[in-house]
Amino acid sequence: MDSISQNTPSNHVDTARLGDRLMGMAQIGATPNGGVNRQALSAEDAAARLKMMEWAAVYGFSVTTDEIGNLYVRRVGTDPNAAPIMTGSHLDSQPTGGKFDGAYGVVGGFEALAAIHESGIQTKRPIEVVAWTNEEGSRFQPGCAGSAIFSGKDRIEDHLDIKDWDGVTVREALKAIFATAPDMPYRAAGGTVDGYIEAHIEQGPVLEAEAKTIGVVTGIQGATRFVVEIVGEEAHAGTAPLKLRKDALKSACTIVGALEELMADPTDTVRFTVGRFDVMPGSPNTVPGRVQFTIDFRHPDMDTLKRLGTAIQPTCEANARGCHVSVTQIVDNAPVAFADSVMDIIRAESDTLSLPNRDIASGAGHDAWYMTDLCPTGMIFVPCKGGVSHNEAESATPEDLAAGIRVLANSLTLLANR
């Protein structure tokens, strides 16, 4: 694919159609502030999957699902024995999420597949667009459930009994979502894959600031997650003397402050977030007896990740103020590097299309993290406005979004003919 001709897939990527489909998908779970709330395996997630199925039917692409609800849209290859090339991302969102995080990789992956189809090219390998189940981990923790199970890193059994805030299990939610498409053929998660590319908005400010359209992603920083539980003693706010209290909330606030000191980093490389923070019983005139909060801690360097991660528990204990503290690590993702072979293709195709590009590391975790175990893997980033993501204000231009999918379509075609 040295020159751009009529049968070059990128030539068939339709900026308006891609934009329309992304905006159509964003209607499902749309929030009043222009964002999206589409929780994993919810009714909104089901509606998003049905939309994918509608689109696939127009092109004659087959659609299947597996035991964790991953959705696969497949265009056949000429070699019936060849392992597929995959692209995709996720359709679930943060509770106050944006239109592009995840949806871009799935809807854009579908646009790439449509463009390849319309170019008339028959690839040797099949190409699949996958919507991974529960990447965000906001309804059911941990996230990346679909890709983790597909990769073999997680077992389905360890996810099925996880409950959401209302006590609904993954098992029950899966049953409900399967019921919305009872005739969909089933396949098992996993198997041989020959390559994976995920398109995503950067979720950071670098590409926009440097006026680069394409980020050739070099890898993903290490990501860990912990749940801290602090148990004190409920008491009456009007009567219990402060010196006798075991106040789980005040203890938790002190602990968060101590963790901030632990994580202090003049280079501003550490990413330390307390995102979920539940206080029980949550009554204004009762001293809180229990607090549970999450720690999301990431760093590109494995040693720093270990050193600071190990210090979390003693730091919590040293600041417990008479309460009982327990710390449980629920995610431990090492930093990964993407395959040179895939990065080379993405870089070359960007250059061919005259798209300004640069190598860039991913601060966020992605389903691609799990795919590195299975096959040569890469990611394509496009700029997002102000680097804002996990936010209803998430924004990206139709032109940048289409440019990323042009690179994706050509790169997938090259991989599928290897």
CA–CA distance, 381 with 320 (Å, rounded to integer): 42
Q: Looking at residues 131 to 150 of the shown chain, list those that interact with a second copy (rule: CB under 8 A).
A: 136-138, 141, 143
- Tell me the C-alpha distance between 320 and 122, whole Å: 63
> How many angstroms separate the CA atoms of 254 and 230, rounded?
12
CB closer to a second copy out of 95 and 190: 95
Q: Any contact of residue 167 with a second copy (CB under 8 A)?
A: no
Interface with a second copy (CB under 8 A), residue total 70
285 binds a second copy per the rule CB under 8 A: yes
Please say which residue, 118 or 317, places its beta carbon nearer to a second copy.
Answer: 317
CB 205 within 8 A of CB 387: yes
Alpha-carbon Rg for the chain, nearest whole angstrom, is: 23
User: By CB under 8 A, is residue 304 in contact with a second copy?
Assistant: no
Q: Are 52 and 62 in contact (CB under 8 A)?
A: no
Does 250 sit near a second copy (CB under 8 A)? yes
Binding track over 216-245 against a second copy, x by CB under 8 A: -----x-x-x-------xxxxxxxxxxx--
Cβ atoms of residues 398 and 215 within 8 Å: no
In the complex with a second copy, which residue's Cβ is closer, 189 or 235? 235
Task: Select from 68, 60, 71 the least CA-distant residue to 102.
Answer: 71
Tell me the backbone φ, ψ of residue 186, rounded to 5 degrees.
Answer: -105, 140
Could you give phi then psi for residue 188, rounded to 5 degrees? -85, 145
Using rule CB under 8 A, residue 398 touches a second copy: no
Measured distance CA(177)–CA(138) in Å, rounded: 18
b/e per residue 281-319 (b: at least 16 CB within 10 A) = eeeeeebbbbbbbbbbbbbbeeeebeebbeebbebbeeb
Indicate the SS3 state at residue 246.
coil
Sign of CA dihedral 257, 262, 264, 268: negative
In this structure, the strands spanning 85-90 and 195-201 are parallel
Per-residue contact flags (x/-) with a second copy for residues 169 to 208, judged by CB under 8 A: ---------------------------------xxx----
The torsion angle over the Cα atoms of residues 364, 367, 369 and 374, rounded to 10 degrees, is -170
Closest CB to a second copy among residues 75, 246: 246
Q: Is 105 in the site for a second copy (CB under 8 A)?
A: no
Question: Site residues for a second copy, window 85-104 (CB under 8 A)?
Answer: 94-96
Smallest separation, CB 101 to a second copy (Å): 8
- Interface with a second copy, residue 215, by CB under 8 A: no
* Complex with a second copy: residue 111 or 247, whichever CB lies closer: 247
- Asked if residue 335 binds a second copy (CB under 8 A), the reply is no
Per-residue contact string for residues 345-384; x = within reach of a second copy by CB under 8 A: -----------------xxxx-------------------
Type of residue numbered 217: V
CA 314 to chain centre: 30
Which one, 64 or 391, has the nearer CB to a second copy?
A: 391
Tokens of 11: 């030539």
Residue 221 Cβ, how far from a second copy at the closest point, in Å?
A: 7
Work out which of 29, 77, 88, 288 binds a second copy, going by CB under 8 A: 288
Binding residues for a second copy, per CB under 8 A? 94-96, 136-138, 141, 143, 202-204, 221, 223, 225, 233-243, 247, 249-250, 252-254, 256-257, 260, 263, 265, 268, 270-289, 294, 296, 298, 362-365, 387-392
